[in-house]
Structure 1
């Protein structure tokens, strides 16, 4: 086409670059409106920008480059809605491809803070806090897995991500403490993977197996009962066994509430992620970091979002093969602490 125009003696028309007005949400919205849209207060966002801003700043000062604070807001809006990137871009006056790059870049920067905000350190305060909930002794964390919906990544391994409910997902393992803070996360296994396999291959399991960490986790019957992982009895008969089950359920309930609040705060992991697989895994870790960040700075959800949602409970799972040592520890626990 260019050669034809030159032959005709005409000049090729170069399309003019469109410069779009960019909204500044911090100035445009009041505090309540801002929190509802971005899940954090303005002060928290500015503080977070101080942590991730240097990592997401452009290396060159190009004209019309998106500043770090606006990049952070673009990503937070995506986490808070899970909307298509074109819609997110329209809100900020940037192209959808720019939104894609921004979400990936910001997610990597936030996920890099994982060591600061997510770390498993058993403490006496944690054990005492769990004991205060329902009288279950020696608990250092509650463990469970939750499915984050994704689009089928395709390829020869695409169907590995289809879980037993029929949709594609990432099966994410999470451990929380008595204060409902995430202390451990594994976000890399396809949806068809069983909870127990994820735990068996985790670093946390290896540490517990070697005795480098004392105490035990509480989990559902998707896991085998082990000396360091207590599960409920399937058919409690005696009063002591019923007391044990009741205490176990009350103690483990905190992890279900963590999932509920986490997904309510960041609907992108409730409704599903349509990003590339590597970016998806990074986003999951990033919103886990943001969940703990919000709790540490005392930034609660907007009041109107505090209505309870449906629990993300899995269907009853078949109990794994019995572990003799685990069953012995559980039996001793029932006789010594729940028989009265």
Structure 2
């Protein structure tokens, strides 16, 4: 009977408390067993109070871990979950208002927005499997994965506001001025580059095996002087070259149709030597032992500028370690969406850093 299964579960719960509560837990269990030996009416009479008791125990375990998270210092919070407490609280408020997470309870677990968001952050900020995450939050593995997918889908709705191309001439000039002050090159609007995200061996393994010998999905991004992502394109297999990914990306098609839409005022991107030379994309001069001194100087500045993309990708993967490696997961669409969600959160972190720097300098 369901009652007997419930009694067994209650026995496990009480036995785990016996060290701290002495023999009283066992005496409580004995009395409960004697009650369950009565007729079916008595069992029915006790079933729902027992369910309520177990619900309270589980809720307490969840509340205890949420309390642990809230007790972390700001530095601990950021190191463990990837985001500052301020950003996390702001996003939790937005999540509550969005209606994406229902207010009612499923099973024995209250599925509140704060709980769901912390589950998601625990997943994306680490490379550990789902089992320890589910254990900490006292939720099933399948429910944990459903929560993560739902939060990822919700974060993707914020992409247009978080990752955006310069909107007006003042934005273009601000970005170009920032690059010029850091690199000495005028009219740079961004650095374009790709990074590989390691995945488990997929079904069509050959397509996803990159030149370095492991399986991956490629993230293409343009990065401004402050390490913000201004455009991303994600999901191509690891064997695809950067030049081919560029030609398949929306930014290439838009710029090919009308360059002035994305690159007014003679602005351009810089990229490594694997990219084609275009009116709006400038790779370094190819080394042929006949470069002039100005060309060599330009290449030196160009290389220093491209390091910004390495810095941005390293920052992304250090904050959200899941982007380093997706173990177990073979659903390419889910992996791609999670990488994009991490890029969105990355930009929130960069915006906060810029705000803090401006206030510190004021």
Does TM-score exceed 0.5, indicating one fold? yes
8 A Cα contact 2:220 2:232, kept in partner: yes
Query: Does 1:47 pair with 2:102?
Result: no
**1:245 — aligned with what?**
299
Cα 1:274–1:113 change in 2 (3 A) is farther
Deviation at 1:40, TM superposition (A): 2.1
Aligned residues: 288
* Structure 1 length-normalised TM: 0.79
Which structure has the higher relative contact order (CA within 8 Å, separation 6+)?
Answer: 1
Cα 1:299–1:266 change in 2 (3 A) is farther
Cα 1:288–1:108 change in 2 (3 A) is same
- For the residue of structure 1 that corresponds to 2:342, the secondary structure is helix
8 A Cα contact 2:218 2:237, kept in partner: yes
Please provide the CA RMSD for this pair: 2.1
Cα 1:31–1:251 change in 2 (3 A) is closer
Cα 1:12–1:255 change in 2 (3 A) is closer
Larger Rg belongs to = 2
Deviation at 1:202, TM superposition (A): 1.3
Q: Specify which of 3, 7, 15 is matched with residue 5 of structure 2.
A: 15
* Structure 2 length-normalised TM: 0.74
Deviation at 1:299, TM superposition (A): 9.0
Structure 1 Cα separation of the partners of residues 207 and 95 of structure 2: 34
Structure 1 Cα separation of the partners of residues 4 and 210 of structure 2: 50
**2:275 — aligned with what?**
223
**2:17 — aligned with what?**
none
Deviation at 1:110, TM superposition (A): 0.9
8 A Cα contact 1:44 1:299, kept in partner: no
Deviation at 1:13, TM superposition (A): 6.3
Cα 1:173–1:273 change in 2 (3 A) is farther
**1:325 — aligned with what?**
none
Gaps of 5+ in 1: 1-10, 301-340
**2:332 — aligned with what?**
277
Cα 1:55–1:290 change in 2 (3 A) is farther
- For the residue of structure 1 that corresponds to 2:5, the secondary structure is coil
Gaps of 5+ in 2: 10-53, 356-362
8 A Cα contact 1:173 1:187, kept in partner: yes
8 A Cα contact 1:55 1:109, kept in partner: no
Structure 2 Cα separation of the partners of residues 74 and 187 of structure 1: 24
**2:255 — aligned with what?**
208
**1:143-181, Cα deviation, whole Å (9 max, x unpaired):** 000000111232xx3431111112111011010111110
Deviation at 1:94, TM superposition (A): 1.3
Structure 2 Cα separation of the partners of residues 133 and 40 of structure 1: 27
Q: Specify which of 145, 169, 172 is matched with residue 100 of structure 1.
A: 145
**2:353 — aligned with what?**
298
- For the residue of structure 2 that corresponds to 1:44, the secondary structure is helix
Cα 1:12–1:257 change in 2 (3 A) is closer
